[in-house]
Structures are given as C-alpha cells and as structure tokens.
Structure 1
Amino acid sequence: MLLFIYSQLVRLALPLILIRLWWRGRQAPARRKNWCHRLGYVPRMTGRIVWVHAVSVGETIAAGPLVRQLLARDPHTRVLMTAMTDTGQAQARKMFGDQVSYAYAPYDTPGALRRFLKRVNPAVLVIMETEIWPNMIVQCHRRDVPSILVNARLSERSAQGYEKVRALVAPVMDNLTWIAAQAESDARRFRRIGVSASRVEVTGSVKFDVEIPAATRSAASELRASLGERPVWIAGSTHQGEDAILLAAHRKLLAQYPSALLILVPRHPERFDTVAELSCAEGFTVARRSREACSEKTEVYLGDAMGELMMLYGAADVAFVGGSLVERGGHNPLEPAAWGLPVLSGENVFNFETIYEQFRTHDGVRFVQGEDELANTLAQLFSDPSQAEALGQRAQAVVNRNRGALERVVEGIARQF
C-alpha cells in the first residue's frame, strides 16, 4: 500500500520535475538531451546486459574499475551505465568512450521502469553505493532481474531515517538479491532496516581499488612541471559556503608563502562562474584552466574542466577534500591518498565515515576547523616536508592495505546471474 502511495506521489510530482529539468537546462543544455530516457524510452538493446547505475560523478568514478573488470571477465557482456545527472554521464563517457552504452536512469515510477526494462532486458542490475529507488528494485524483482547493491554504505543518520518509513523500506530491501557492504557497521544497519542477514556480505569498499592511469600520471607530471617549485595545495569537490573559507585560508597562507598556489575545484560545474567571480572579488589573481594557462602570478587556479580532479590532485603537494567544512558529508579522500598526498578535511564526513575511520585509525588525515586552522596546518606542512611526506605515506598505506574489495565484488556479481 505504501509503495502504491509513493508511486502516486512521484507521478503527481513528475510534471514539476520535468519543468525543473527544462528550466535548469537553460544554462546546461546537456540536461535536456535524451530527456525521454527519464520516462523509460531508451534505445532497445540485445545480448547479455549488465546494468550499472551510478547516480553522479563520484559513484561513476568508483564504478570505473568494476566496469573494467566486468568487461575483461566476459568480452560478450554489454554494460549499460546510467546516471541521474548529466555530469555523471559525461564522466562515464570520458572514462569508457564506446566501450559501454549510456542512458539516463528513468524516474522512479512503475511505468517508466517497465518501459526501461522491456527495452533493455538486463541480466542484472548493479547499483553503486546506496541509491535506493523503490520501483527500480521492485520492478526488477518482478522481472526476475537480480538487483545488487555494491560498495554499499549506510550512515547512522540514514538508517534512522529509513527506520521511520520501515513499512515502505523493508519490503523494497527484501527484493534486493545481494548487498556488498563496505563495513560491518554498514551491514548491521542494513539488517536493522529489514534486509535478511543471508543477503548482506561485508566486502570492503571498491573505492580502495582506485587506479591512476598512466595517462593521468603523465598529465599530472606535465602540469606540475609547468607550475614550477612553488608550494601548491588543492581543494577538491568544494561546495557553496566552503569556497570563502578556503580563499580566506589561502590569503593567510600567502602572507607566509607569497608564491603559494591554490588549485580550487568546485564539485558542480554550474558553480564554476560563481567561484571564479568570488575569487576575483576577493582580490586574487585567477586563472581558469579551461581558458588560460597558470602563470607565476596566478594565486588561484580554477579547475573548471570536468573529469580532471584525479589528475589535478597529482599536481599538488597537499590536498583538502571538500564538502567537509559545510554540512555535505564530505567526499572521497582516496584519490589524493592514492597519490601519497597529505590529506586534510573538515569534520563533516558522515557520507564517508567508514573510509575516514580507517584514516583516523592510522593517522592518515588531518582534520581542520575554519580558515585559521587550515592555513596554519598548510604552513606547517609546507615548512616541514618530512612531516608532509610521512602523512602522505600513511594515507597511501591505508589505500594499499584495504585493496581487494573489487575482486570480491566482481565474484559476487558473477554468482547472481
């Protein structure tokens, strides 16, 4: 009954959702492209299809090694990658080109999912992390399509929210075939909201199996050489309300290190112009990567090209991971850690609590609060390279120590179809 009510509410909201999609598409035309996919009208596919759903950029990047393993394991398998955002789809295309197929995921109504499944006829659905859409899972179950949640995480905050609507959530979760949880704490919370213990397995996080392609290493090395010997720090995946704090910290750092450079990479492309304007208004000399080269006079280098964050991390000396000085829950610290960089973060990391717990345990991260502490920590690391190197090595060791989840997840997926 609750699923029926939920579906009716989504149907009622659908006209407003489509209007919003059209409205936001004024400045980002890519959002309007293939809008019919949202209603389930995707190109028909044949063969053995593995449907991989990754909601946005972060999940798409995390899905990369998994998709490569699936393709290598069985060359006859076709992979369809779906996302909810245009940036997620653009990231997937940049990673895989014509190796896989792409579509926007349908909105979560029974009709849209039935149309989508009829056209694609997947052998299995692989959902990255905790993108739980009731009709997506239920409609797959009704067509005998196994639904698998991989790299699954569930924070205490989310678990408490799901418990409030347990009557809706429990039947949906019962339709999942297998959940590959990042940690025992995640598995325990899934069991709390109605998942059978036999369907939950702790595999670890596939994000620890992060890859740095040779081309990315080469591009990072080339960029770093162009920046010279100056101190360079990067703030990746920043959010509204965070950039002003980071710029204030950079101003304080410049008082001690006048040649220091901040590579500032906003999380969402629609904020590129806003952050560029803010940086200029604060009096910094700004260069935008998409438009001009970074000169020796540049104080803020704006990373405004999609899909380059991993490479930009490799050109820095210290990394701050965004979404953590504001209530966003943080972002993935494993990419800078894989480079062996010292990792800094704010305290708001509830979306990555399992991963950050590993870093806390092994002293592989420095947590900072506010512009003063951030600036002081940066100055300390730049003044003591051996301390910075040791912090980076500990962060990299955390990544290496936890590799192996990917193989376990791929084996688990293979068992389901």
Structure 2
Amino acid sequence: MKNIIEDHFLLSTWTALTNCLSPFLPFYLQNRCKKGKEIPNRLKERQGYPTLSRPAGSIIQFHAASVGELVSIFSVIQAIHIQDSSQSFLITTGTVTSFRILENFISHHPILARHIIHQFIPLDIPQWINRFLTYWHPSLIVLAESEIWPNLIKEACQKKIPLALINGRLSDRSLKNWKVCPSLIQNILSRFQWIISQSEHDQNNFAHLQITTDYLGNLKQTAQKLHFNSQELVELENYFNNSPIWLAASTHPNEETLIAKTHAVLRKKWPNLITIIVPRHPERGQEIINEIGMVAQRSKHELPFENGLWLCDTLGELGLFYRLADIVFIGNSLDVVHKGGGHNPFEAARLNCTIATGPKIHNFRQAYYHLQKAVTIIHTIDDLTNWVDKMLSNPQLRKKQACLALEIMEQKSNLATDIGTHLLKLARQSI
C-alpha cells in the first residue's frame, strides 16, 4: 500500500462541503425515489447502510456508474472467478437501470451469481462512505472509466484498501478542465495502485497531466455477447417471415425523426421493410411517438403496424435485436444530436452485425478507430438511406463487413484474463 497522501486543499474543501450538505441529502434521495430513480426499500444503501450480510473472506468491490461501464467489467469478474472460484464480488452501481442490467447478467450466470452481491453506492459523503467501507471492507476497490469519487478514494486510502482504475478514460474536454488545476487530479489519482487506460489517446491525455497509466486495450472489446431470449427470437423471425430488417440502436433526441424519414424513403423500394428503433433511454417512448407519429411500441407488447416502424422502448433487449437485424446504425452520433459522442460498437460487432454510425463519436473515438474499415461513417440522411439500401441489396458485402468487425474483436481475447490476474494479485496483497 502507498503511504497516506496529504490532501489537496480543494479535496479538503470538497470533504467539508459534502459534510455540510449531508443533512439535506436524504430529502434529495426521497425526491429521486418519487421519480422512480431509486428503489424505496434500498434507499438506505445510498447512505452507506448495508442491506445484505457480508460473506466471510476476501471481497473485491467493482463500481460502475453507467450501463456501458457495468457491461465492460463483467468479463473481468468472470476471468477472476475462473482463477479463484471462491472469490466474492461486491458490485456497486448508482442507477436503477444499471442494477437491472446486473440482474439480467446474474440470471444467465447462476454459479457466478452465488459470489456476487449488489449494493447501491453511497453518495460521496465522508460519514456515509466510512460506514460503507467499515462494514464491507473490500480487499480491493476497482473503479471503471472516469469514476472519480474523492471521498471514497480518500477513505479507502485511509483504511489501506488498494485502488485500481480500469478502462480509464480522460476525454479532451476533461483534460482541458483538469489543466486548470492539474495538482488536484494528480493528488487524487496518486492514491491508486494501478491505472489502465482504455486507449492510447486516453493514455496520452493522462500523461499530459503527469499521470502514468498502462495501456492494454479496451475492455469493452472483451465483453461477452449480449444475452437474449432464444424462444422470442424464433417467434419474431417466424413473424417477420424474411422481411428486410434494419436497426437504429441507442438513438437520442432528433435522431428518431431522421430514422423515420429514412424508413419512409426506403419503403418505396422495400415495401415490407421493418425498421426497429431502440432509444438509449426507453422512458422517451411517448416523446418519440409525439415526434414521428403513431408506431408500434414494444413496451406495450405491440408488433409493427402497417407502416413497418417498431419502437422498442424496453431495457436489456439489444442482444435480441442485434440478432434479429444484422444491419445496425448506432446513434448519439448524427449532427442533429446536441452533444453526441457515439455509443459502444463492440456489442454489435460481437454479434456479426454490419455497422454504421454518425460523425459525432468522440466518446468512442478509439473504438471506432480500432474497427476502422468495418464501420461506415454516415453524415447525412441521404448517406444513411443509401447505406441501408446498399446493405439490403448486397448480402455478400454485408457479411464481409460483419466478418471483418468480428475478426478485429477477437484480437484482444486474453485482455480480461490479464487484467483479472493483476487485480487478484492486488487484492491478495492487501489481505
């Protein structure tokens, strides 16, 4: 373990500020609960109170904020479990959505599930974090991507719990912000025993702040195939009866309108065409209908109407739709999106899909660079229409593109094992 590091004055300020806010935060949590953003009978977990018993022996904590981060750590957890089948895992998340994804994962891995405990991460209040760490006392805390919780990191260091940051990401925007006070991020990240960047670009950004990281590859590339209901797939394939199908996945506001317009143009040539829209945030279902008109909703158990548009506003079913439609456009990437940034293409590539995306992919720059010629960049609605038409018309080209993407995916097959081995070593050193 590294020696206790003197706090940066801004870190001390953050600790003092969060202590001052703590009396008011229960009301904030209650408000989130009313909005469906928290689970009522588990609300106390957000204050560091446990709702489950701690298993005996070593426990490794993995924290993932987003769905993407959560999916990326599954392969590492599986790799560690293969090396040590007695190892327990505490997985913490901050959203109900991430918890539901974890539930789905656990349901498909019953043996591993016996060694996994889930808790919602406490808000970053010193007293709440201290309560959480005192009870669970993990042998190692593993954070994913850009999760920087100052008080969690500080308390872990004080309790001599080692820290690791995997698939570390530092965007150009974050680099610019941290350059205002580089000593703060240096002070925080110097407490970690191991940091691995998810790309060479991120590694260079960390280096600009004089933070040394390792680069082994992007963990999202090692993610297992998304799960699906095989019976449901057979039923849908029979229902659509070889109709041409394409999918717009993880779409954001304004993109659905362009997808609907593309569908209308394509239907003139492909009258039986089915276009599936899977919004990144399923709760936007009614909002999307207000924009593009009446379409069938998966959340209401509806199948496509005569117009052939199908809004699949459900959670955790991308694995089903990637298998149903192998022509995939990945959203949050077109110019009509306010900020954009793209979404993870590796899940689609793993399932033999032909992939296109828009130009706004800065959050996944390295992932798309890695796939290179296996992905088509779409700039306009005409580009999108022509690309879908081309893929529908040329199954051989479609297969070639999908095979190229899958071939690239297989190049980092040992990454999760290598990372898992090192994390297990860190955890054992702290016991």
Q: TM-score, normalised by structure 1?
A: 0.90
Q: Say which of 380, 386, 404 aligns to 2:396.
A: 386
Q: Using the alignment, how far apart are the partners of 2:41 and 2:288 within structure 1?
A: 26
Q: How far does the alpha carbon of each residue in 1:158-216 deviate from its partner, in whole angstroms, 9 at most, with x for none? A: 22222223132110010111012223322222232242x3xx22111121123227865
Q: Displacement of 1:406 after TM fit?
A: 0.8
TM-superposed deviation, 1:23: 3.5
The answer as to whether partners of 1:243 and 1:275 remain within 8 angstroms in 2 is yes
Q: Where does residue 332 of structure 1 map in the other structure?
A: 344
CA distance in 2, matches of 1:214, 1:267: 17
Shift of 1:273: 2.8
Q: What CA distance in whole angstroms lies between the structure 2 residues aligned with 1:29 and 1:157?
A: 28
After TM superposition, list the pairs within 5 Å mapping 1:108-119 onto structure 2: 108-119=124-135
Off by >6 Å, runs of 4+ in structure 1: none
- Counting only pairs closer than 5 Å after superposition, residues 297-316 of structure 1 correspond to structure 2 as 297=306, 299-316=308-325
Whole-angstrom distance in 1 between the partners of 2:23 and 2:183: 27
Give yes or no for contact 2:168–2:198 (8 Å, CA) kept in 1. yes
Q: Distance in 2 between matches of 1:188 and 1:217?
A: 43
Greater mean alpha carbon deviation, residues 219-228 or residues 133-142: 219-228
| 1:2 aligns to 2:14 (yes or no) | no
Q: 1:63 aligns with which of 58, 70, 73?
A: 73
Q: Is the 8 A contact 2:29 2:38 kept in 1?
A: no
Equivalent residue for 2:266, pick from 244, 253, 267:
253
* Other structure's SS at 1:258 match: coil
Q: Is the 8 A contact 2:226 2:347 kept in 1?
A: no
Q: Give the alignment's TM-score, normalised by structure 2.
A: 0.88
What displacement does 1:367 show? Answer: 0.8
Structure 1 unaligned regions, length at least 5: none
Aligned partners of 1:237 and 1:267 also within 8 Å: yes
User: How big is the shift at 1:30?
Assistant: 4.3
Provide the C-alpha distance between the structure 2 equivalents of 1:208 and 1:9, rounded to a whole number of angstroms.
Answer: 39
Q: Which residue of structure 1 lines up, in the alignment, with residue 96 of structure 2?
A: 86
For 1:192 and 1:138, the matched residues in 2 are separated by 23
C-alpha change, 1:32 and 1:346, in structure 2 (3 Å) is: farther
Measure, in 2, the Cα distance between the counterparts of 1:168 and 1:30.
31
Aligned equivalent of 2:46, options 38, 57, 77: 38
Alignment CA distance shift 1:32-1:351 (3 Å): farther
- 1:26 aligned to 2:34? yes
**2:333–2:341 CA contact under 8 A, matched in 1:** yes
Q: Look up the SS of the partner of 1:255 in the other structure.
A: coil
Q: 1:50 aligns with which of 55, 60, 69?
A: 60
What residue identity is the alignment partner of 1:395? A
Tell me the distance in 2 between the aligned counterparts of 1:181 and 1:247: 38
- Aligned counterparts of 1:10 and 1:394: Cα–Cα separation in 2: 49
Q: Are 1:397 and 2:410 matched, yes or no?
A: no
Q: Structure 1 residues 298, 247: CA separation in 2 closer, same or farther (over 3 Å shift)?
A: closer
Shift, 1:334, TM fit:
0.7
Q: 1:8 to 1:250 in 2, by over 3 A?
A: farther
CA distance in 2, matches of 1:185, 1:295: 43
Matches within 5 A, 1:15-414: 19-28=27-36, 30-43=38-51, 44-47=53-56, 48-97=58-107, 98-99=113-114, 100-195=116-211, 197=212, 200-212=213-225, 219-279=232-292, 281=293, 284=294, 286-295=295-304, 297=306, 299-325=308-334, 326=337, 327-360=339-372, 363-414=373-424
1:141–1:101 Cα change, 3 Å: same
Amino acid at match of 1:263: I
Whole-angstrom distance in 2 between the partners of 1:18 and 1:257: 55
Whether the aligned pair in 2 keeps the contact of 1:155 and 1:353 (CA below 8 Å) is: no
Give the paired residue count: 408
For residues 10 and 284 of structure 2, the distance between their equivalents in structure 1, rounded to whole angstroms, comes to: 38
Q: 1:131 aligns to what SS in structure 2?
A: coil
Does structure 1 conserve the Cα–Cα contact (< 8 Å) formed by 2:156 and 2:162? yes
**Partners of 1:370 and 1:344 in 2: how far apart?**
12
Q: Secondary structure at the match of 1:28?
A: coil
CA shift, 1:71, in A, is: 2.6
Letter paired with 1:292: H
Are residues 33 and 344 of structure 1, via their aligned partners in 2, closer, same or farther at CA, if it must alter by over 3 Å?
farther
Residue 146 to residue 262, structure 1, CA distance change in 2 (3 Å):
same
Report the residue type matching 2:103 in the other structure: R
User: Are the structure 2 counterparts of residues 317 and 117 from structure 1 closer, same or farther at C-alpha, using a change threshold of 3 Å?
Assistant: same
Deviates more, 1:207-216 or 1:261-270: 207-216
User: Which whole-Å CA distance do the structure 1 matches of 2:370 and 2:45 have between them?
Assistant: 39
> Which is worse superposed, 346-355 or 216-225?
216-225
Question: Is 1:169–1:194's contact at 8 Å kept on the other side of the alignment?
Answer: no
CA distance in 1, matches of 2:238, 2:301: 16
Q: Which string of whole-angstrom CA distances, capped at 9 and with x for unpartnered residues, describes residues 306-360 of structure 1?
A: 2111221111031111111222311110111111111010111111111111122
